[in-house]
Amino acid sequence: MAPGPLAQVLRQLPTANDPNLLSASIPFADAGVYQIGESCALVQSIDFFTPVVDDPRSFGRIAAANALSDIYAMGARPITALNLVGFPRCLHQDVLVEILKGGAEKVAEAGAVIVGGHTIEDDEPKYGLAVTGLVDPAKMLSTVGARPGDVLVLTKPIGTGLLTTALKGEVLTEAQIPDAIAGMSMLNRLAAEVMLEVGVHACTDITGFGLLGHVLELAEASQIGISLNVAELPIYPGAAEMAQMGLVPEGSYNNRSHYLPRVRNAEALSIERLDLIADPQTSGGLIMAVAAEKLTTLQNALHAVGAGAWCIGRITEQHPGSLTIES
């Protein structure tokens, strides 16, 4: 669902008044958070989608990593997962077995356990997880807390929406996008462990609303401004070329339409760069707001566990809730 219509739907729903629902006070929370003890809260999220790659097991891995990401973005530890499956009669059940095996691999890698699930017949395959994790509310991270003077660190490149669109259009093959497939399959687990150890002020993950949307959510939730250095953005190989060819997913146009009015100096963006920052990501990286004096420590620790650590922007006092493009 596009960000604009989604917001309109949510405004029509009743609000919860339970004081234990901690996520109710967190703008753009990545997951639901419900406190069950003085130092323990449940963190719950759900995500599923149609295949972004052709190989069933790879699809299962990617879908599971994507669903687990919201738990990591809040500094939580996943403990259980439920499979969510839509599957057509026309496909052989071996395909479903491979999808579920791929998902199970990632859940096991996360240190969690699959406790069941639900399957329905559907016109096309769909797969994902409902995930539950645990977090100490005092150590929880969210979109709130970024401070002027912080810098923004991104842990994965962008461009998966462009590449998977080209894959669906048979412009590219899976053999031509190994970096993107590996990145989408990578859990944000180790990056999350590093950020908790080093100490960051705020975090979110980059998914369907693209870098553009999720960074603006961070700016609005923390009531700060963000200055983005587009020249420093990490991009998966081939993604910029697909943008130049116009192989842009529909979600990118939705993100651009909804979020671009809050971007200052947008004229400094080329069309290709705009397509890249608005590109809806699948199983994207974490973006962290960290004190400038901790930047080197954070980057070194992220690199040590095999995660990316690109410094792509900074937090400012000016223009709260907006994004400024550095020219």
Residue 13, Cβ density class (10 Å: 0-12 exposed, 13-18 middle, ≥19 buried): exposed
Averaged pLDDT, 118-133: 97
CATH architecture for the domain at 151-325: Alpha-Beta Complex (3.90)
Please write down the HEC assignment for all residues of the chain: CCHHHHHHHHHCCCCCCCCCEHHHHCCCCCCEEEEEECCEEEEEEEEEECCCCCCHHHHHHHHHHHHHHHHHHCCCEEEEEEEEEEECCCCCHHHHHHHHHHHHHHHHHCCCEEEEEEEEECCCCEEEEEEEEEECHHHCCCCCCCCCCCEEEECCCECHHHHHHHHHCCCCCHHHCHHHHHHHHCCCHHHHHHHHHHCCCEEEECCCCHHHHHHHHHHHHHCCEEEECHHHCCECCCHHHHHHHCCCCHHHHHHHHHHHHHEECHHHCCHHHHHHHHCCCCCCCEEEEECHHHHHHHHHHHHHCCCCCEEEEEEECCCCCCEEECC
pTM summary value: 0.95
Query: Phi and psi (nearest 5°) for 117?
Result: 165, -170
Q: What is the mean pLDDT of the chain?
A: 96
Whether residue 172 contacts residue 163, with contact meaning beta carbons closer than 8 Å, is answered with yes
Q: Is it the case that residue 100 has pLDDT exceeding 90?
A: yes
For the domain spanning 19-139, the CATH number is 3.30.1330.10
Res 238: pLDDT: 97
Q: What is the CB neighbour count within 10 angstroms for residue 29?
A: 23
**Residues 247, 275: Cα–Cα separation, whole Å:** 10
Average pLDDT rounded to a whole number, residues 86-101 = 97
> Per-residue pLDDT tens for 208-242?
999 999 999 999 999 999 999 999 999 999 999 99
Q: Residue 1 above 80 pLDDT?
A: no
Strand order in the sheet with 225-228: 202-205, 286-290, 151-154, 310-316, 225-228, 323-325, 263-264
Contact 58, 184 (CB under 8 A): no
CATH 3.90.650.10 domain extents, the chain: 151-325
- CA atoms of 273 and 158, how far apart (whole Å): 11
Higher pLDDT, 5 or 79: 79
Q: CATH 3.30.1330.10 occupies which residues in the chain?
A: 19-139
Query: Would you say 280 and 255 are in contact if contact means Cβ atoms under 8 Å apart?
Result: yes
**9: pLDDT strictly greater than 90:** no
The pLDDT of residue 2 is above 90: no
